[in-house]
């Protein structure tokens, strides 16, 4: 796909602005989420009544994700289908099973166990796109895997949750399927359509999107923490331990699978983040809606931790050169700029 000089100039101007915004947002997001969590813990009566609005907040985050996607992002899946499929399969196999392993090893209470498994069954979060970009990984592949896993989430997330968590609590498959379609699939599609027909406007507001997404994620975390404030004092450390273990194992499996398939370094970095970083905002929302506030706590903690671990690992990766540079295609620059404008976990 060729670009006119004017389009190239516009892209080169927009990309640095989006890059700067994403770097700042990656640093600020954990801080915002921690502040939101503290407020939710200290002022539960102020945030608990807002629980019904969580689904709307997640819809806003996913809408922003849709705004960052372009038609070439979907075309990239067709160009390298087996690698994208490898990433999605690894994510939807490894993270749910690792979640089950974690809850078994730590003998987690029922509601927390369901929350951890639900995080594992969620699709990839767009935070993985940002940290892949900052880690000098294959950003286009990262965007492709996140897109594909998000589109499959309405079926796979409730199905896997039913299979793995059904022995802990009743899992309403069809209700979750409809909910994910409403809060994830529809907003993403609407965002993509707006991007196609109003790309110039989206380019103008792109630097603001990370901050809007960060605020929405922090809002969700504050409400989730408020709902389980009474349990945090006794379960908080255990939840943190489970979340850290789950996340680090996922990152390790993603990198290991890519290495075992003899993929290049940029691809290994992309898969490590795609497998290890989940859409924890979706997990928290589903847990609050269909299970209990305590079941939503692992998703809230994951929202903080995976941004911290992702940012730290991206910084370490970026300082380690590799022999073979990533394969650039004509749309990679726009993919990097698009990924950089979405910071959520989802978010």
208, 273 contact by CB (below 8 A): no
Tell me if 335 is assigned to some domain: no
CA distances from 121 to 35, 116, 277, 283 (A): 27, 9, 11, 8
The predicted pLDDT at position 315 comes to 78
115, 283 contact by CB (below 8 A): yes
Neighbours of 23 (CB within 10 A): 18
The predicted pLDDT at position 272 comes to 95
Rounded distance, CA 291 to CA 285, Å? 10
Which positions ≥6 away from 5 have C-beta within 8 Å?
Answer: none
CA distances from 282 to 117, 187, 226, 288, 329 (A): 13, 13, 17, 10, 31
Tell me if 7 is assigned to some domain: no
User: DSSP letter at 208?
Assistant: G
C-alpha neighbours within 13 Å on the C-beta side of residue 108: 30
Residue 192's domain is classified under what CATH number?
1.20.1530.20
Residues in the chain predicted with pLDDT less than 70, given as ranges, are: 1-29, 73, 76-77, 321-347
Tell me if 213 is assigned to some domain: yes
CA distances from 306 to 165, 217, 224 (A): 22, 13, 17
The length of the chain, given as a count of residues: 347
- Domain of residue 189 covers 16-320
The predicted pLDDT at position 186 comes to 87
Tell me if 261 is assigned to some domain: yes
The predicted pLDDT at position 336 comes to 42
Tell me if 286 is assigned to some domain: yes
Tell me if 135 is assigned to some domain: yes
Determine the distance from the C-alpha atom of residue 218 to the mean position of all C-alpha atoms in its chain, rounded to a whole number: 14
The predicted pLDDT at position 332 comes to 40
Instruction: Check: pTM over 0.85? Answer yes or no.
Output: no
User: DSSP letter at 291?
Assistant: T
Tell me if 302 is assigned to some domain: yes
**Any idea which residue has 């004017």 for tokens?**
6
Tell me if 332 is assigned to some domain: no
Which positions ≥6 away from 174 have C-beta within 8 Å?
Answer: 158
123, 148 contact by CB (below 8 A): no
**Any idea which residue has 């209470």 for tokens?**
109
| Helical segments of the chain, H only | 5-42, 44-47, 54-68, 71-79, 81-105, 110-121, 127-134, 139-165, 173-180, 186-197, 199-205, 209-227, 229-260, 265-276, 280-290, 293-318, 332-340
Which positions ≥6 away from 330 have C-beta within 8 Å?
Answer: 1, 2, 3, 72
Domain count, the chain: 1
Structure tokens at 130: 């940002």
Rounded distance, CA 27 to CA 8, Å? 29
Which positions ≥6 away from 229 have C-beta within 8 Å?
Answer: 40, 41, 44
Rounded distance, CA 217 to CA 237, Å? 22
The predicted pLDDT at position 18 comes to 53
243, 105 contact by CB (below 8 A): no
């Amino acid at each position: 796909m060729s670009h006119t000089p004017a389009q190239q100039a516009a892209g080169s101007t927009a990309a640095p602005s989006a890059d700067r915004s994403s770097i700042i947002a990656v640093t600020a997001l954990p801080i915002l989420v921690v502040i939101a969590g503290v407020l939710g813990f200290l002022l539960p009566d102020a945030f608990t009544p807002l629980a019904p609005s969580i689904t709307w907040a997640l819809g806003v985050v996913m809408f922003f994700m849709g705004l960052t996607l372009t038609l070439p992002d979907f075309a990239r899946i067709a160009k390298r289908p087996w690698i994208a499929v490898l990433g999605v399969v690894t994510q939807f196999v490894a993270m749910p099973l690792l979640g089950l392993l974690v809850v078994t090893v730590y003998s987690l209470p029922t509601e927390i166990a369901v929350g951890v498994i639900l995080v594992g069954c969620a699709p990839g979060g767009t935070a993985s796109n940002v940290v892949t970009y900052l880690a000098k990984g294959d950003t286009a592949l990262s965007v492709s895997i996140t897109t594909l896993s998000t589109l499959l989430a309405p079926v796979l997330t409730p199905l896997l949750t039913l299979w793995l968590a059904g022995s802990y609590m009743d899992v309403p498959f069809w209700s979750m399927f409809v909910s994910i379609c409403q809060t994830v699939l529809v907003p993403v599609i609407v965002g993509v359509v707006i991007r196609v027909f109003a790309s110039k406007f989206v380019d103008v507001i792109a630097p603001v999107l990370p901050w809007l997404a960060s605020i929405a994620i922090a809002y969700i975390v504050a409400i989730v923490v408020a709902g389980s404030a009474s349990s945090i004092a006794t379960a908080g450390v255990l939840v943190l331990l489970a979340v850290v273990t789950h996340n680090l194992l996922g990152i390790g499996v993603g990198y290991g699978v890519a290495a075992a398939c003899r993929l290049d370094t940029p691809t290994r970095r992309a898969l490590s983040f795609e497998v290890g970083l989940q859409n924890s905002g979706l997990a928290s929302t589903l847990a609050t809606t269909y299970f209990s506030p305590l079941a939503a706590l692992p998703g809230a903690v994951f929202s903080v931790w995976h941004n911290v671990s992702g940012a730290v690992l991206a910084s370490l990766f970026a300082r380690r050169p590799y022999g073979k540079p990533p394969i650039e295609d004509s749309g990679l620059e726009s993919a990097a700029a698009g990924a950089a404008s979405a910071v959520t976990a989802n978010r």
